[in-house]
Amino acid sequence: MRTIPRLVWAYALAITLITSLPYIIAAVTAPEGYTYTGAASQPAGIAVDYFSHLAKMQQGQRGDWDYHLLFTSEEHPGAPLVQAFYVALGWASAFDLPLTYHITRAALTFGLILMLWVFGSRFFPRPGDRWVFLLFSTLVTGMSWLLLIVDPAQTAQVAPIEFWLIDAYHLSGALFMPHFSAAIILQLLAVLLFFNRQVIALTIALALLTLVQPYIILLTVPLFGLLLMRDFVGGRIKIAGLIPFVLPFAVQATLTLYLYNATQSDPIWQSFTAQNITSSPPPLYYLLGYLPFLIPIALLVRPQQILAALMPVKQSNAATNSARVLLLFIVWILIVAVLLYAPIPTQRRYLIGIQTPLAALAAVGWVTLMRRLPERVRPLITLAYVGIAAAPLAFLILSNIASRPVDLYLSPAETAGYAWIERETAVDDVILTTFDWSGRGSGGKLAAFTGRRVFIGHWIETAYFDDKLVRVQRFYNPGSTDAERCEFLSEYGIDYVWYDDYARSIGTLDPEAVPCLQRVIASENDAIIIYRVIDGL
């Protein structure tokens, strides 16, 4: 860290502050009597995942390492080490959970930028080249927003990825999710440890990376395996040198297999896995989404360099355009390109960290281009290019500063209701909540701020989500009988009903008339009422 220039520290601090502005402004401008949840408003649905992470932290805070899905009512076995990042974060929390979340998010954003500089220093000898890599690996995003102009009908189906696919870019992920930054930091660390042949440290890094990003083995094993085979064929390493690498691969494989089995151990976990599908958008979105990287790569990284990277060589060369270094970035990109459309349910998740090799190759091309121009214009052209390519990221930050809808805050009634639930209910009690495909409803917030199980509250973590949408609507439908409602509550083991304005909007049911419901607490003007389920029939 002593070798990191002060300007890099200042840059990391500036980016950390800028990406924290939406949350700082939302907190200091909270309406009187309201409490900021810590969620962001854009892109749509991002708050739902944030509430999911808080729910995981709730379990860690109470020392429950046997992780359960809190957004579903069914009993199911716990899964230690699953979602370990957020469970551990809750366990270690010294503040309220939203504050802990954002302190961690900011700290890891800062650490990510420093780690990118350290990583770039390993492969780019000149400081100016390192800065180009750092700018491309942080500020540069994409240009699939051009589809809004040339093909608006297509964007009605899939929006430009710069505005919703936060996995695709380092700072987009860091803006919202601390585990994204943690995963990228561990990726970079693993690559550096691999190149330095530090096998024990690599084993630890890959184990931690697997806990944060469980599916990453489909990238790391082929990537490191191909690099090792090339070095072996080229005579850079002997068989005896290959044997130690069995350890990190074996540990990562064992841990991955455990995590996979844990999420296949029960029908509820199987439902979670089946719903946890993150399919890729059409290839055109990726082509345009990474266009600012692909332009300098296509124009200036010559085919001869790529071919040289794929051919075994015996000499050691740490220069930017060395065959060995180029192979790392080329193979990394190719493996991810295959995984993005492979028949696996986590396609988009392999985008996490892909900006690193893209930025490295783009930096090679950009630096080559700039050396053909007068020195005095190079910084201006570079900053102009980066500035244009950073516009979507700036838009995402500004839109979250400008958009602060009331549902980002807890009303006094919600706060009082959550306090009552935490005080008066058991940890395993189940609460009938509401939720829909837009992310509206009570389920997400309630699980996040009480740590109690809810009937419905997340598209993925609520088992049999589609069926439960129908069951909630049927419960509030005036056409259902009281006997059917009470049977439904009994069937799913529901202990309490959270009744608010969104529940009222589903149907015209008056819960006061349901014989198996007993009012236990109500806010002023009955904005929120909590009912206990009793044996009323």
Cβ 364 vs Cβ 225: under 8 Å: no
DSSP state of 325: H
CA dist 385 and 398 (Å) reads 20
Interior angle at CA 236, CA 231 and CA 241, nearest 5: 85
Given a cut of 50, is residue 315 above it in pLDDT?
Answer: no
List pLDDT tens digits, range 137-161: 999 999 999 999 998 888 888 999 9
Beta bridge partners of 59: none
> Which secondary-structure segment (H or E) carries 432?
strand 430-432
Classified as helix, coil or strand, 357 is helix
CA dist 79 and 83 (Å) reads 9
List pLDDT tens digits, range 489-536: 999 999 999 999 999 999 888 899 999 999 999 998 889 999 999 986
Given a cut of 90, is residue 323 above it in pLDDT?
Answer: no
**DSSP letters for 244-259:** GGHHHHHHHHHHHHHH
Given a cut of 90, is residue 305 above it in pLDDT?
Answer: no
List Cβ neighbours of 177 (8 Å cut-off, separation of 6 or more). 49, 53, 105, 166
Mean pLDDT across the chain: 92
Helices (H), 168-302: 170-176, 178-195, 199-212, 217-233, 239-242, 246-262, 267-275, 283-289, 291-300
pLDDT of 71 reads 96
Q: Before 244, cis peptide (omega within 30)?
A: no
Mean pLDDT of 205-221: 96
> Which pair of structure tokens corresponds to residue 529?
């009422």
pLDDT of 231 reads 84
Classified as helix, coil or strand, 496 is strand
- Type of residue at 61: Q
**By percentage, how much of the chain surpasses pLDDT 70?**
95
Helices (H), 340-411: 355-370, 378-389, 391-402
* Confidence band for 424, pLDDT divided at 50, 70 and 90: very high
Given a cut of 80, is residue 310 above it in pLDDT?
Answer: no
Cβ 353 vs Cβ 167: under 8 Å: no
* Confidence band for 303, pLDDT divided at 50, 70 and 90: low
**By percentage, how much of the chain surpasses pLDDT 90?**
80
Mean pLDDT of 45-51: 95
Q: Which domains does the chain have, with CATH numbers?
A: 6-36+95-401 (no CATH), 410-533 (3.40.50)
List pLDDT tens digits, range 263-286: 998 999 999 988 988 889 999 999
CA dist 295 and 359 (Å) reads 11
Q: Rounded to two decimals, what is the model's pTM?
A: 0.94
List pLDDT tens digits, range 69-111: 999 999 999 999 999 999 999 999 989 999 999 999 999 999 9
CA dist 367 and 133 (Å) reads 9
CA dist 8 and 165 (Å) reads 27
Given a cut of 90, is residue 316 above it in pLDDT?
Answer: no
List pLDDT tens digits, range 352-406: 999 999 999 999 889 888 988 998 999 999 999 999 999 999 999 999 999 889 8
> Which pair of structure tokens corresponds to residue 337?
């390109």
Q: Phi and psi at residue 162, in whole multiples of 5°?
A: -60, -20
CA dist 132 and 364 (Å) reads 9
Given a cut of 90, is residue 346 above it in pLDDT?
Answer: no
Mean pLDDT of 297-308: 68
Given a cut of 80, is residue 302 above it in pLDDT?
Answer: no
